[in-house]
Structure 1
């Protein structure tokens, strides 16, 4: 949601199945929408069952009004500026190209996330910390959130990143690499 599909309408829209009677979709509000939490979208009967039977819903509370408002504002922005989704893809492709040109092992992005392989979990943590010290905030994935042997830095491409900002990110990642 916010990156794939026409205007960022999501993967089901891109696949041509959005709104079908038998499609259930989970969406995160914390990635491209910059909020928190998530939602399950689907037939009323399925949603009713989840609300009444799924432990994660039974013991959960509703979204905070501020989080719901932030997600709604982001959705409205996407509707007004549908080109943001395509720009996020463009930034992700540029990050990937520059990172691989710098000799880093980066995964070709399908959406807005570009991950860069780290030698070990410990080095991934240190690398992310060194990036942060240099003023660049990157995610760090390591076991148990990923399988052993594939620890990574995680970069999220944003539609508003400029060429100089992309270049700086690549430079910092390259200079701090273990």
Structure 2
């Protein structure tokens, strides 16, 4: 991650916050730091004291994902490459993460395009007001590191065909 990219992995007195629900596909968040920091947060952090701890399945999922990342450290680079490839295939801006937003404008064509994708075996997210601002309804594609080029190209082709079918264009 960013800590390693900045050359700070293992640095003393470093405090790192993170989410387990995005790249690790689990739930919750974390604060990583010294044992003194950990003890202080356990005793004083209201968001920790008055919240329910992670369920065992979510904690196990996060741990399994971390083990995969340790065993396959190229996953983040493959994920970025795959996101760029799919965005280019769809004519979208280069994404900064694994989520590609294709803004189509009105809710009706966005919903219709999402349904057309589903009918072709490709599941995409569809976000419309009130989740997003009016006029910015969108399809969201989430990329994975384990997808091959042929699959990414197929997904891009399905999405573009669905958009054409409903008369929508990416803004």
Q: Give your verdict on TM over 0.5.
A: yes
What residue number does 1:144 align with? 130
- Structure 2 length-normalised TM: 0.77
d(CA) in 2 for partners of 1:157 and 1:46?
Answer: 37
Shift of the alpha carbon at 1:67?
1.1
Aligned length: 161
Q: Does 1:162 align with 2:140?
A: no
Q: Does 1:61 align with 2:52?
A: yes
Bigger Rg over Cα: 2
Shift of the alpha carbon at 1:64?
1.2
Match among 30, 33, 48 for residue 41 of structure 2: 48
d(CA) in 2 for partners of 1:53 and 1:161?
Answer: 41
Q: Does 1:96 align with 2:82?
A: no
Task: Give the CA RMSD over aligned residues.
Answer: 2.7
Structure 1 unaligned regions, length at least 5: 1-9, 101-105
- Structure 1 length-normalised TM: 0.75
Structure 2 unaligned regions, length at least 5: 167-171
d(CA) in 1 for partners of 2:8 and 2:132?
Answer: 29
